[in-house]
């Protein structure tokens, strides 16, 4: 069962990849005469999903995909043109298949009602478009299509069938999607037990298939997996064929039998087995380039050599009875240096395995742009750059939803309608650009549109009406624009299913901050907006700066530190009842005494005795006062919330080299707590 579950998950993962390929192909498919290369690519993906579904008893998948496959088959045979309604219907079918596979992956029931609705649309397209072709295919169809009758099928497989990875049960399950199947096994060729080879197959089968609309092409298609591999397959048509009149061909020539007509008894036994496993969901998996695995194997080999060398030193130490030479000590230090280098390289190699290109998140956007622009009557050109930029898999999975929110809002609120753009002297087609690139120790993702931009005056008016800010707020224009990230804030005049309820951009900022990142927006009225998402490379490891606060050791994320300075008390200003400020060159920054925030009572209280660590978040700087700075090192982040509870101001914990636990400071939270009123304070001091 464990092995079968592994195969099952592999099939599901490959099917999801196939659906992505189908979706991309359909979005690039132009209406008109079929692009055979593109149609074949889409057809192969659909055929693979259908073919593998029978192996695991996913009869609903097989039945639904059969209709989609029939439509694609007629297109690739140039029996019908590609139309926009058929593209839209096939895109809807991809959505249904993705939902079906997701439900099967999570061992949840499939939404058969929605699947039936989309299947009916596909069958209607088949019927409508094939009606004009009846006269040209009338003669050929008379010999192929059967009504209520029994097809007799003989199967004598090659005895090495099982060794090629094929399984007769998969073939039988596929046939069950076409109609009622009766199976009779012939065991007469089984050899004596003494000569029996368990890897060989000696069974023959006689099959009887009955159902409406079954034709020989459908049956042959099922057996194409083993046809030509030495198997003997005989197919005998029912004696009763379709009447040779045109009137009988008003319905689609090839029909898929809906999944609901399949006998439920076939599915029940396996469904029970799967249900027993449903309590433990799989952790998921990731595909890794072989070169990355080879690199890890080489590094492990180096570690083994180093470990062997260090073991010899241990044996020599035992024999020396405490007396060791300087040469021995030098060699030991050299061995430890090798160990440190190899461990660091192995760590980087392991982390590299978790890195995936951002194209995994970007590839969803063409479909989003297609659907939203059609619904809004806008023309959008989506440009993507830097899709090969790599990001941690966990972060990538959580990044998709924020990206969808931003892209949908750019199309809905940003890009104007063709008429408005033409009047403004812009091209009718608007542009949304997505780009990913490295900057320092971070990944930056920018979503740019050439739309109308964000109207700060309109946002200010709405914010005052809703009580978000006061009329004498004193906020800068950029701070007013940032109100779009305020919970529940929206300037949409009409509430729609695309945007307008104010439940989007605040979620975007919260989710990205949860990934240790930040998001900001720059806009120019009439020209467009740029949303910039800044993320760390990984959530698992960070470069840290150790600091001392009293008797405790804390870790700063090194990427957030601008500089550290010795405090000059003459540059410290106090604002009555508000905060301490430090004049750093031409500006004032707030001083945050960490020992007060953290409740540490044995720390330095005199600013002259400690250091000020200048950090930055979202363009705002602050000075965090600590007793002293220690060394820098990479630390492995452990979630405090998962292992204990959420603590304000603490981003996580790590274990230092001496075995002690150190808390990692949440710089964003520290700066955020001192943001309010900074503009007013600055103006008062200046």
Catalytic residues: 47, 69, 409
DSSP per residue, 53-119: HGGGT-HHHHHHHHHHHHHHHHHHTTSS-B-HHHHHHHHHHHHHHHHHHHHHHTT----HHHHHHHH
Beta bridge partners of 636: 541
CB 206 within 8 A of CB 166: no
What the block records as the tokens of 437 is 């690139």
Beta bridge partners of 541: 636
Cβ atoms within 10 A of the Cβ of 196, count? 10
3 state SS of 555: strand
CB 97 within 8 A of CB 19: yes
Closest residue by Cα to residue 533 from 555, 505, 499: 505
Residue 10 falls in which region: left (phi positive, over 0), alpha (psi -120 to 50) or beta: alpha
3 state SS of 393: helix
The rounded distance, in Å, linking the Cα atoms of 222 and 571 is 82
What the block records as the tokens of 238 is 């029912």
CB 576 within 8 A of CB 592: no
Closest residue by Cα to residue 285 from 362, 356, 359: 356
The rounded distance, in Å, linking the Cα atoms of 123 and 469 is 56
Using alpha carbons only, give the angle 450, 361, 16 rounded to the nearest 5 degrees.
135
CB 35 within 8 A of CB 57: no
The rounded distance, in Å, linking the Cα atoms of 237 and 147 is 11
The torsion defined by the Cα of 400, 401, 405 and 411, in degrees rounded to 10, comes to: 40
Q: In degrees rounded to 5, what are phi and psi of residue 524?
A: -130, 120
For 251, which DSSP code?
Answer: S
* Burial label, 584 (beta-carbon count in 10 A; 0-12, 13-18, 19+): middle
CB 185 within 8 A of CB 205: yes
Beta bridge partners of 390: 357
CB 546 within 8 A of CB 631: yes
The rounded distance, in Å, linking the Cα atoms of 484 and 492 is 11
What the block records as the tokens of 186 is 């012939």
End-to-end CA distance of the chain: 73
Q: In degrees rounded to 5, what are phi and psi of residue 529?
A: -135, 155
For 411, which DSSP code?
Answer: I
DSSP per residue, 438-479: EETTEEEEEEEE-S----HHHHHHHHHHTTSS-TT----HHH
The rounded distance, in Å, linking the Cα atoms of 662 and 669 is 18
């Amino acid at each position: 069962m464990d092995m079968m579950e592994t195969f099952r998950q592999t099939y599901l993962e490959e099917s999801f990849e196939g659906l992505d390929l189908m979706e991309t192909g359909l979005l690039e498919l132009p209406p008109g005469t079929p692009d055979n290369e593109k149609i074949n690519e889409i057809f192969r993906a659909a055929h693979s999903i259908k073919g593998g579904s029978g192996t695991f008893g996913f009869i609903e998948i097989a039945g639904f995909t059969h209709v989609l496959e029939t439509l694609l088959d007629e297109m690739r045979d140039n029996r019908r043109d590609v139309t926009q309604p058929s593209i839209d219907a096939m895109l809807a079918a991809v959505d249904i298949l993705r939902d079906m596979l997701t439900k099967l992956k999570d061992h949840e029931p499939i939404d058969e009602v929605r699947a039936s609705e989309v299947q009916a649309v596909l069958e209607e397209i088949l019927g409508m478009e094939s009606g004009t072709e009846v006269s040209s295919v009338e003669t050929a169809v008379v010999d192929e299509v059967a009504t209520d009758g029994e097809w007799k099928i003989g199967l004598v497989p090659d005895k090495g069938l099982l060794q090629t990875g094929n399984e007769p049960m998969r073939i039988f399950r596929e046939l069950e999607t076409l109609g009622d199947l009766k199976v009779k096994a012939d065991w007469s060729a089984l050899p004596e037990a003494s000569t029996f080879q368990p890897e060989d197959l000696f069974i023959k089968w006689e099959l009887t298939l009955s159902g409406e609309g079954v034709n020989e092409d459908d049956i042959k298609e099922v057996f194409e997996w083993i046809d030509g591999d030495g198997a003997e397959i005989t197919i005998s048509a029912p004696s009763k064929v379709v009447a040779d009149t045109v009137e009988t061909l008003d319905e689609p020539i090839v029909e898929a039998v809906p999944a609901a007509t399949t006998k439920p008894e076939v599915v029940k036994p396996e469904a029970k087995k799967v249900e027993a496993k449903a309590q433990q969901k799989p952790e998921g998996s990731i595909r890794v380039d072989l070169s990355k695995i080879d690199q890890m194997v080489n590094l492990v080999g180096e570690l083994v050599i180093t470990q062997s060398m260090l073991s010899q030193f241990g044996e020599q130490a035992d024999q020396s009875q405490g007396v060791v030479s300087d040469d021995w000590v030098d060699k030991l230090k050299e061995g430890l240096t090798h160990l440190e280098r190899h461990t660091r390289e192995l760590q980087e190699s392991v982390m590299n395995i978790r890195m995936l290109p951002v194209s995994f998140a970007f590839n969803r956007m063409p479909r989003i742009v297609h659907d939203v622009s059609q619904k809004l009557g806008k023309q959008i050109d989506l440009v993507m750059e830097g899709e090969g930029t790599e990001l941690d898999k966990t972060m990538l999975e959580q990044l998709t939803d924020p990206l969808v929110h931003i892209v949908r809002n750019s199309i809905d609120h940003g890009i104007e309608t063709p008429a408005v753009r033409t009047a403004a002297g812009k091209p009718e087609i608007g542009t949304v650009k997505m780009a990913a690139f490295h900057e320092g120790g971070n990944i930056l993702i920018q979503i740019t549109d050439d739309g109308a931009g964000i109207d700060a005056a309109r946002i200010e008016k709405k914010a005052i009406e809703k009580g978000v800010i006061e009329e004498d707020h004193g906020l800068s224009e950029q701070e007013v624009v940032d109100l779009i990230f305020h919970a529940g804030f929206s300037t949409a005049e009409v509430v729609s299913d695309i945007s307008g309820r104010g439940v989007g951009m605040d979620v975007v900022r919260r989710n990205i901050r949860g990934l240790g990142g930040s998001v900001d927006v720059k806009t120019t009225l009439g020209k467009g907006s740029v949303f910039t998402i800044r993320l760390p490379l990984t959530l698992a490891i960070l470069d840290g700066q150790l600091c001392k606060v009293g008797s405790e050791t804390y870790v700063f994320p090194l990427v957030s530190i601008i500089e550290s300075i010795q405090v000059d008390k003459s540059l410290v200003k106090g604002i009555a009842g508000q905060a301490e400020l430090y004049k750093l060159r031409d500006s004032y920054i707030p001083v945050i005494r960490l020992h007060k925030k953290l409740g540490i009572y044995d720390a330095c209280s005199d600013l002259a005795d400690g250091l000020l660590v200048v950090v930055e978040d979202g363009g705002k700087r602050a000075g965090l006062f600590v007793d002293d700075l220690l060394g820098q090192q990479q630390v492995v982040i452990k979630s405090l919330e998962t292992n204990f509870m959420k603590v304000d101001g603490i981003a996580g914990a790590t274990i230092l080299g001496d075995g002690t636990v150190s808390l990692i400071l949440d710089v964003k939270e520290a700066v955020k707590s001192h943001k309010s009123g900074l503009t007013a304070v600055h103006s008062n001091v200046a």
